A = this chain, B = another copy of it.
Amino acid sequence: MTDTTSLPSDLSKDRLRVWLRMLKVTRMIEAELRERMRRTWDITLPRFDVMAALRREEAGMKMSDLSGVLRVSNGNVTGIVDRLEGDGLVERRSVEGDRRAMRVLLTGNGRRMFDEMAAVHEQWVDELLSPIGAQGLSTVHTRLGRITDKLEEKD
């Protein structure tokens, strides 16, 4: 019962099937992670994503860098950073030499909080993706990489 039932001419249908399955998997995992994060730390996925991006840049990032890395709109980041700032997890500082720009960085609290969350988050992902072994991980990683490469080259 292997996947050799479909004819080559149905390639397009197969792509649609794979796309729908990808969508299903990511939505299910995202829902599961969101739920656990909400219950464990009362935090949302978007906030976590912003903190993760900032954790990699000790010196902070400009708002526009943040929306670039996260691939979300500028206005979106404004709101999320507003709320994180309200919770004392990030801080906005002006960029010297450019009065338009803002540098956002994690506060000490933010960094401690994120590190704690990241460790658990990694375990959760490991658990949720456990049905895929080393071999599968490598092939999936490669195939998906080809897609992003192609999508990126036209930006």
Contacts of A17 in B (CB 8 A): 137, 141
| Chain A residues within 8 Å of chain B by Cβ, number | 53
User: B15 near A148 (CB under 8 angstroms)?
Assistant: no
Contacts of A18 in B (CB 8 A): 129, 132, 137, 140-141, 144
Contacts of A71 in B (CB 8 A): 24, 27-28, 31
Contacts of A13 in B (CB 8 A): 122
User: A137 near B28 (CB under 8 angstroms)?
Assistant: no
Question: Could you say which of B27, B140, B147 contacts A128, with CB atoms under 8 Å apart?
Answer: B147
A54-90 Cβ-contact flags toward B at 8 Å (1 or 0): 0000000000000000010000000000000000000
Q: Does A40 contact B (CB under 8 A)?
A: no
Copies of this protein in the complex: 2
Q: Does A25 contact B (CB under 8 A)?
A: yes
A29-56 Cβ-contact flags toward B at 8 Å (1 or 0): 1111000000000000000000000000
CB distance from A10 to the nearest CB of B (A): 9
Contacts of A148 in B (CB 8 A): 21, 24-25, 28
User: A15 near B131 (CB under 8 angstroms)?
Assistant: no
Q: A27 vs B126: C-alpha distance in the bound complex, in angstroms?
A: 21
Contacts of A131 in B (CB 8 A): 143, 146-147, 149-150
Question: Could you say which of B6, B22, B31, B150 contacts A22, with CB atoms under 8 Å apart?
Answer: B22
Known: A12-B126, A25-B144. Contact between A32 and B137, CB under 8 A? no
